[in-house]
Structure 1
Amino acid sequence: MIFNVAQLMKEPVGSGASYEDDIAEEQVQLDKDLTIVGPITGHARMRRVNQGLLIDGWVDLTLGLECARCLKHFEQPEHVTFEERFNPTVDVVTGTPLPPIEEDDVFPIDEHHQVDLTEAIRQAVLLAIPMVPLCKEDCAGLCAQCGHDLNLGPCDCKPEIDDRLNVLKQLLQNE
């Protein structure tokens, strides 16, 4: 997901200069804890702004996740949008180094005038992952006593009775 933006960086600010390209990556490892199944496809639009570039776009990918209720692995397609600023580290005309970027939310354009969208897309994908991934909306989960997958049917366990409710049981028997 690397693009050469030297020509775009030479354009004057406010000229409406932009560059669009498709994203197609077969095998990408965005994060060690993130499983991507299949290719990543998408589109990116790069526009010249005052300090550097504003890049926005989207990617489609399939994530391999684990259900929070039944612990089964499943695949979930995602459509993730992103928009990030990229500032140069080297002047495109003279080749002299520029002062370091002091903002946390800005990505660098390297000394070869290339933009790598991998980190921006990784962050957008991590934000798109649900906090509680479920294989299906009505996942029944696992039995708390025997661990049986309740999506396959009920188990033979008898429901646990909270010991604190025994007092109520005795009151019912006295009447």
Structure 2
Amino acid sequence: MIFNVAQLLKSPVGTSLVSEIQEEEIQLDEDLKVIGPLTGHVRMRHINQGLLVDGWVDLVLELTCTRCLKEFQQPLHVTFEERFYPTVDVVTGVPVQADDVEDAFPIDEHHLVDLTEAVRQQVLLDIPMVTLCQEDCAGLCAQCGKDLNLGPCSCEPEVDTRFNVLKTLLVNDDGQRLK
């Protein structure tokens, strides 16, 4: 996802460049496994401070279900908008000291914009905190570890022994259980 923006930086402020994104194999992060191609659309606009880049990507991630620990594929549609600032003047080649670049990405000395990091950060933000293979995933049995999506297990419910004293309140004087 690297674009040469030298001509765009030489153009007047307000000029834009539109391009499609097609990456067959991409590794965004060591913990993110992208399945298949990453496709999308990007628009780069020349602004006073550099470039304003926005667009979207579609990708499929292989994630692990939080409840049953099975791996599953999760399609994502991720939108992004980031600022990029030049590090070298496009006409003179002199290094540029940019102001207010705390929340912006650099354009390298060859006037190349790499969208990979901007997309990676937005993908990480868009992944749900609880990843589920299906909305009604039953998860695993806490005692035996059986996948409850395949059916119930034969475990007895775990009883907290601290509450055994309360059972005596349900017994009458004859030793019979109250209803």
* Fold similarity call, TM over 0.5: yes
String of CA shifts for 1:10-55, please: whole Å, max 9, x gaps: 1122xx3100000000111110111111110000000011110000
Structure 1 residue 103, shift from structure 2 partner: 2.7
The answer for the alignment partner of 1:43 in structure 2 is 41
Conserved 8 A contact 2:2-2:115: yes
The one-letter code matched in structure 2 to 1:29 is Q
The one-letter code matched in structure 2 to 1:9 is L
The one-letter code matched in structure 2 to 1:2 is I
- Pairing of 1:12-91 with structure 2 (within 5 A): 12-13=12-13, 16-91=14-89
Whether 2:7 is the aligned partner of 1:7: answer yes
- TM-score relative to the length of structure 1: 0.96
Residue segments in structure 2 that go unaligned for 5+ positions in a row:
173-177
Q: List 4+ stretches of structure 1 deviating above 4 A.
A: none
- Pairing of 1:110-121 with structure 2 (within 5 A): 110-121=108-119
Alpha-carbon distance between aligned partners in 1 of 2:100 and 2:12, rounded to the nearest angstrom: 23
Q: Secondary structure at the match of 1:170?
A: helix
Residue segments in structure 1 that go unaligned for 5+ positions in a row:
none
- TM-score relative to the length of structure 2: 0.93
Which is higher, the Rg of structure 1 or of structure 2? 2
The number of equivalent residue pairs is 173
The answer for the alignment partner of 2:175 in structure 1 is none
The answer for the alignment partner of 1:131 in structure 2 is 129
Conserved 8 A contact 2:85-2:98: no
- What percentage of aligned pairs have identical amino acids? 71
